[in-house]
Amino acid sequence: MIVTGTAQQRAWRERVLPPVEPVRPGVWSVPVPIPHSPLRYTICYVFLDDTGAVVVDPGWDTPEGRAALTAGLRVAGVGVGDVTGVVVTHVHPDHHGLSGWLRETGGAWIGMHPAEARSLPARVWRNRTPATDRAWLLRHGVPAADAAALAADQGRMAHLLGMAEPDRAIEDGDRLPLARHDVRAVWTPGHTPGHLCLHDANAGILLTGDHLLPRISPNIGVHGGADGDPLGDYLASLEQTAKFAADEALPAHEYRFRGVDDRAAALVRHHDERGEEILRAIGTLGPATAWEIAAELTWSRGWASLQGMLRRMALAETLAHLHHLAATGVVRGSEAAPTRWSHLPGTG
């Protein structure tokens, strides 16, 4: 992997916002700060067009975020009122947060994949109460005290439940409505069900959202009973994006790079190694809950240092691996609660 966003990498190391930069003629990168996050900022991309601009992932909605996006657009030569459209790679608030503000301010349309629209928090959590969420946590082995603390509270989720609904659907292969650029959507489910990358073949760029980052492995998690095999989806999506080996990756965090195929292969290896670690944990513990298995795994900060939502994210990631191992016939979860996972005899 070759770092191409050298100023962005330097800013990352120095823990400051990177500069607003032109990455291609008529394409700009604009950093938007994320409050209280180790990710620090989202990189919003701005496509200048004949009738204004289309922005991708405008960032978290705070006064500082609005100011940063406004200032960045000004450097690119447009104003907030010139934004005619917003494309959201996925609906996490550090990507989709400012979309509604841009629509309210200048009338911009908002586009996302239909599967992503269905995963908006207001829809997913409509019928999920703290009690049902706590029961889900208990089923996966979370101790009662921890389950009470980790259960979702709709009051604390108000900023998520109010995120904007889309105006238009963007399907796999769709061309964005741009006169100066030929940008097409690439559906890459895994991190979220409707995650999109955006490919401009003429410019030789692939906007990767959170699907492919230069250092970080994006969280692939199971968050509810109907989440299926998101890790399997992600691994298949990595195979898809590896085909764009000749293009420069423009991620939503950190810095630009080349070597999409090498980075995709490294992430596949990472998840294979994690699956092997989970099987070793089951071999040591015997039939075990996802919470018990998660506590045995290697985490960058250590399990003991993970608190609050970080532990819930670790549980969700462990469940994603268990669901994938079950889908490939390697493990099986018990029907009785709490669910205990066992390694099936005669499998790898």
- Locate 308 and state its tokens: 């609050």
Distances (CA, A) of 344 to 225, 279, 281, 311, 347: 22, 10, 14, 27, 6
The domain limits of the chain are 2-120+163-258, 127-162, 273-348
Backbone angles phi, psi at 110, to 5 degrees: -120, 125
Q: For the whole model, what pTM was predicted?
A: 0.94
Backbone angles phi, psi at 96, to 5 degrees: -100, -5
- Locate 260 and state its tokens: 């999409």
- Amino acid at position 237, single letter: S
Helix axes of 260-285 and 309-327: crossing angle, nearest 10 degrees:
90
In degrees, rounded to 5, the angle at the alpha carbon of residue 26 between the alpha carbons of residues 248 and 255 is 35
**Domain 273-348 class in CATH:** mainly alpha
Length of the chain: 348
Give the start-end residues of each E strand in 188-283: 196-200, 205-209, 248-251, 257-258
CA distance 81 to 58: 14
Print pLDDT tens along the chain (348 aa). Answer: 999 999 999 999 999 999 999 999 999 999 999 998 989 999 999 999 999 999 999 999 999 999 999 999 999 999 999 999 999 999 999 999 999 999 999 999 999 999 999 999 888 777 777 888 899 999 999 999 999 888 877 666 777 778 899 999 999 999 999 999 999 999 999 999 999 999 999 999 999 999 999 999 999 999 876 679 999 999 999 999 999 999 999 999 999 999 999 999 999 999 999 999 999 999 999 999 999 999 999 998 899 999 888 899 999 999 999 999 999 999 999 999 999 999 998 765
CA distance 311 to 294: 9
Torsion of the alpha carbons at 269, 274, 280 and 286, rounded to the nearest 10: -140
Neighbours of 6 (CB within 10 A): 10
- Locate 96 and state its tokens: 């989709």
Neighbours of 314 (CB within 10 A): 21
**Domain 2-120+163-258 class in CATH:** alpha beta
